[in-house]
Structure 1
Amino acid sequence: MASGPEPLGRGTIPSPNLWRSPEVYELENLASDRAGVIDAAIGALHPWAGARVLDVGCGSGFHLPQFASYAAAPLGVEPHLPLAVAARDRLRGSGIGVIAGSAEALPLADASMDIAHARWAYFFGPGCERGLAEVDRVLRPGGLAVFVDNDVSAESTFSRWFAAAYPAYDPEGVERFWRRQGFETQRLVIEWTFERREHLAAVIGIEFPPEAAARFVDECTDRADRAGHTVDYAIALRWRHQNPTSA
């Protein structure tokens, strides 16, 4: 279990990588999707310009400055108090807000946001319908709910690693869950791109159990060229628009 204050909200599940190793997770954020594939795909589903953007599970606030560069008023919500404090420190003077709160009880008014985004924030998925209902509540009619997750069934290095390290994970069950909730899935491939192999090794170490992580680091080390710093990574972009006729 992660150390530190208890999370806000009974349904909040600790994030073992981010909560325990925020400095290493920062390296992962810096390496992830430098080409901006994810944000471009989101922008094709709902215009960023003028949008009020909610980042649910914003962590240390890494993505909020980028959202602020092309949206009107990004806001982060984070259940883990040390991360919420870190996000506020990071964003001090920027005008970007961060609220300590739970996905199951978002501290926001009804129909107040245009885009609700969560990136690898695992309180969304089977058994977490209350969080999805809260997103629906705070979205304006026609707004976009969009969640970034792993695409374990795809052909990518990260997908292969994940399937090997976590054999109990049920990708078909996850797909059925999202379909039942009315979400569509857009499949994308991004990259982890690291400047240093030791940073890649550290990130692999917080994402996988030790034995599996050691194998994956060895696999990268065996690649003598620049590709040893880069990992292809398939993701599933889960999305749905709020009913434009909703009250």
Structure 2
Amino acid sequence: MVEIAPGAVPSPNIWNTPQVYELENKAVDPDGVLAGAMRELRPWDGATVLDVGCGTGFHLPFFAASAARVIGVEPHSGLAAAARRRVAGLDHVTVRASAAQALPLPDSSVDVVHARWAYFFGPGCEPGLREIARVIRRGGTAFIIDNDATRSTFGRWFRTWLPAYDPEGVERFWARQGFSRRPLTIRWAFADRSELEAVLNIEFPAELAARFLAEVPGTEVDYAVNLWHRSY
């Protein structure tokens, strides 16, 4: 039976269709733009890395390749179990089932925090940010990756789907929290159009997904993101 940690914010795309979300993870940023920007700001070689909202653990092996220790935290017990299977054999990687608002870690115990399209969407995420401030060591860095709805094909789709979304308000929120913004342009690159179609259908209502698919002649979509970062 799937259990959800108290306080978790539902994430229908990955919670309901983790196999399709895996296709999305594989398609995101094949050029390594995000990884390069994070490494430039704060390398994690030999560090302790926390991945908040790690889902099925897609990014855990990436961090584990050079980090001394990696912890994944995920509120959905089924996804957390999948993440544990993914990192089986990596003795320096652990996965805990919990929510961002109650990180199961001691004070001042991690060096780098990574959260990608997970919980930290602006106003309302203050409890999770307080937890980050509690568990991160002095000199540590938090990275939060979210959509930039002001530009790119995906940004336009996002605004069409959520016209009330306020990018300027979200930016003001992160500035008040002490975060800096690095705008980046990445891309989706799928193996074929059936994968693109499947992912669009877990990200948008069916009518919009069909319209957006018709706009794309091939298998790639330009995608603007914000890399929010703060040193503690």
TM-score over 0.5 for the pair: yes
The offset of 1:94, in angstroms, is 1.6
Rounded Cα–Cα distance in structure 2 between residues aligned with 1:241 and 1:40: 17
Which deviations, in whole Å up to 9, do the C-alpha atoms of 1:176-216 show, x marking residues without a partner? 11111111100000110011110011001111111111100
Letter in 2 for 1:8: A
Paired with 1:115 and 1:85, the residues of 2 have a C-alpha distance of: 23
- Aligned match of 1:151: 148
- Unmatched tracts of structure 1, length 5 or more: 243-247
Amino acid at match of 2:4: P
Classify the secondary structure of the residue corresponding to 1:133: helix
Alignment of 1:56-95 (within 5 A): 56-95=52-91
1:121 aligns with 2:147: no
Alignment equivalent of 1:38, drawn from 27, 34, 47: 34
Residue of structure 1 in register with 2:211 after alignment: 215
CA distance in 2, matches of 1:124, 1:213: 22
Q: When the two structures are superposed, what TM-score results if normalisation uses the length of structure 1? A: 0.91
* Alpha-carbon distance in 1 for matches of 2:72, 2:121: 16
Aligned counterparts of 1:37 and 1:184: Cα–Cα separation in 2: 17
Q: Secondary structure at the match of 1:236?
A: strand
Query: Which residue of structure 1 lines up, in the alignment, with residue 179 of structure 2?
Result: 183
Partner of 2:224: 234
Q: How many residues align?
A: 231
State the alpha-carbon separation in 1 of the partners of residues 121 and 222 from structure 2. Answer: 24
Please say if residues 13 and 123 of structure 1, whose CA atoms lie closer than 8 Å, have aligned partners that are also in contact: no
**Could you say which residue in structure 2 is the equivalent of 1:111?**
108
Q: In the alignment, residue 37 of structure 2 is paired with which amino acid?
A: A
Q: Select between 165-174 and 130-139 the one with higher mean Cα deviation.
A: 165-174
Query: 1:60 is paired with a residue of what secondary structure?
Result: coil
SS, match of residue 231 in structure 1: strand
- Could you tell me how far apart the structure 1 residues matched to 2:168 and 2:177 are? 14
| Identical aligned residues as a percent | 58
Q: 2:108 is paired with a residue of what secondary structure?
A: coil
Structure 2: gaps of 5 or more residues: none
**1:163 paired residue number:** 159
Q: Does the CA-based 8 Å contact 1:143-1:241 persist in structure 2?
A: yes
3-state SS of the aligned residue for 2:170?
helix
**C-alpha distance in structure 2 between counterparts of 1:56 and 1:203, whole Å:** 22
The aligned residue for residue 168 of structure 2 is 172
Relative to the length of structure 2, the TM-score reads 0.97
Measured against aligned partners, the alpha-carbon deviations of 1:148-174 in whole angstroms (never above 9, x if no partner) come to 0000012x1111111111112111111
The residue identity in structure 2 corresponding to 1:146 is F
The one-character-per-residue Cα deviations of 1:28-54 (angstroms, maximum 9, x if unpaired) are: 000001111111111111122111100
Q: CA deviation at 1:81?
A: 0.5
Q: CA deviation at 1:125?
A: 2.0
Judge conservation of contact 2:109–2:136 (CA < 8 Å) in 1. yes
Q: Is the 8 A contact 1:124 1:132 kept in 2?
A: no
Deviation at 1:123, TM superposition (A): 4.1
| 1:115 to partner: Cα distance | 0.3
* 1:111-161 C-alpha deviation (Å, 9 max, x unpaired): 11000110010344211101001001110001001100000012x111111
Corresponding position of 1:101? 98
The DSSP-based 3-state class of the residue aligned with 1:185 is: strand
